Structure 1
């Protein structure tokens, strides 16, 4: 299999196993004969990445999968191997050419009548990811659940990739109906809160702070956002700022025992820091005094 990028996509994000991807494509034989095109149907081809090789019984009509065929009950949304491999490396908006040998396509059986046995195929594919508002909301719920599972498994970076998708899909979405607007806001808030937790886990504290701030823009008295921002400040040794956030949590949510404990811990750290500072300054002044004494002693001996 050979893959040639004809136009670079945008960003750095790549689809992950289980993601639903939308791809426009044109399929040709090596002699240039076109056997299929999603553009002629004016409908992008969609499938879940990583589902594996399409069974021989389910192959028909020359599509990477023909989702409307009646040839077998095995038509379940699986794709030829070349598509699972090729699309996994594509960025949003990327245009590429995928040349696949028979073992990555339809093998010795082919896909009569359009694709002969042992045929090498050429696909020109563009990853779309263009979704309407309803699809974005639906997919956001799906990737939120995926992110939660990754988080439970301790795969924090994979989880953050899922939550970032929600932000990118919904952050600038406008013109939503009132009910959908509420759903979008709730999903964005959850995404930022979960991103903050992921970044706390991997000690990327600046990004944790940024996501807490974003969450607080959506809900200025959010308990989790204030607490997690306090945690980020605490881990950055910004104990005064951390104490302020934890105190806000206590004021707004008096039953939050963890926040009360953190306030006390911050006070302890602040006192310890003051003691260290006093010791540093005391030693510094002592050294200055000793140096000045030596200088004065040297001058006296010269006289």
Structure 2
């Protein structure tokens, strides 16, 4: 199949704003650019651009599974998205220099995939795995608010309130107007105080409703 040249948002909408990198917009069908590996019995992409495009498309399919409540399937799709980003890096030649927005898109797709892996792990009560995934994100982006928030809420679900509050405070410092972070911090402080009090103090108290401590939807920054 013939390959189409990638386009960017600046090409579609006029000149880009000064200082802002162009946004890569995928065109065509990624699966027209793969070949069957007989030895491995698997499809392989022939270039980095279309492997990255497949990573983005799989991530979007993961979002649909997440909305349906199929968190395990969504997690596998998000992890597969990350694998295709890694494959794109393996296939790279000069894409970062010759395709406007390619490098930024690669970072964006991988971070979104990992953030949503972490969110699925929260939904599946896989709190240690969620924390480890957030650590991977924070290694490359220490100011990622969602990674800090999800790591904090995962610690809170494990009743590790001091650790939880540390990461929630970092998230709040970076995004002070976020109501979800504020609520999580308030809950964490309340639970921490309760944990230090004798059980008899709560014996006659009515049961409280549990908070999920995580966002209801997939990564809200995703492209439409």
How many residues in Structure 1 have an aligned counterpart in Structure 2?
162
- Could you tell me how far apart the structure 1 residues matched to 2:153 and 2:177 are? 18
1:241 is aligned, of 156, 163, 180, to 163
Deviations 1:65-121 (A, max 9, x none): xxxxxxxxxxxxxxxxxxxxxxxxxxxx54xxxxxxxxxxxxxxxxxxxxxxxxxxx
Higher normalized strand content (fraction of residues): 1
Q: Residue in 2 aligned with 1:139?
A: 54
**What is the deviation of 1:146?**
0.4
Superposition pairs of residues 177-188 of structure 1, within 5 angstroms? 177-178=96-97, 179-188=101-110
- Could you tell me how far apart the structure 2 residues matched to 1:225 and 1:170 are? 19
Greater RCO structure (CA 8 Å; 6+ sep): 2
Consecutive unaligned residues in structure 2, runs of 5 or more: 1-29, 202-224
**What is the deviation of 1:169?**
2.2
**What is the deviation of 1:24?**
4.5
Q: Residue in 2 aligned with 1:257?
A: 179
Q: Residue in 2 aligned with 1:163?
A: 78
**What is the deviation of 1:212?**
1.1
Q: Residue in 2 aligned with 1:28?
A: none
**What is the deviation of 1:168?**
1.6
Higher normalized helix content (fraction of residues): 2
Is the partner of 2:197 in helix, strand or coil?
helix
Deviations 1:171-208 (A, max 9, x none): 47165415312111100000010001111011111111
- Could you tell me how far apart the structure 1 residues matched to 2:128 and 2:106 are? 25
Deviations 1:30-83 (A, max 9, x none): xxxxxxxxxxxxxxxxxxxxxxxxxxxxxxxxxxxxxxxxxxxxxxxxxxxxxx
Question: RMSD in angstroms over aligned alpha carbons?
Answer: 2.4
Return the index of the structure with the highest Cα Rg. Answer: 1
1:204 to 2:126 alignment:
yes
Q: Residue in 1 aligned with 2:146?
A: 224
Consecutive unaligned residues in structure 1, runs of 5 or more: 1-18, 26-92, 95-125, 280-303
Is the partner of 1:221 in helix, strand or coil?
coil
**What is the deviation of 1:128?**
3.7
| Paired residues of 1:185 and 1:218 also in contact (CA < 8 A) | no
**What is the deviation of 1:225?**
1.0
Provide TM-score, normalisation by structure 1: 0.49
Is the partner of 2:138 in helix, strand or coil?
helix
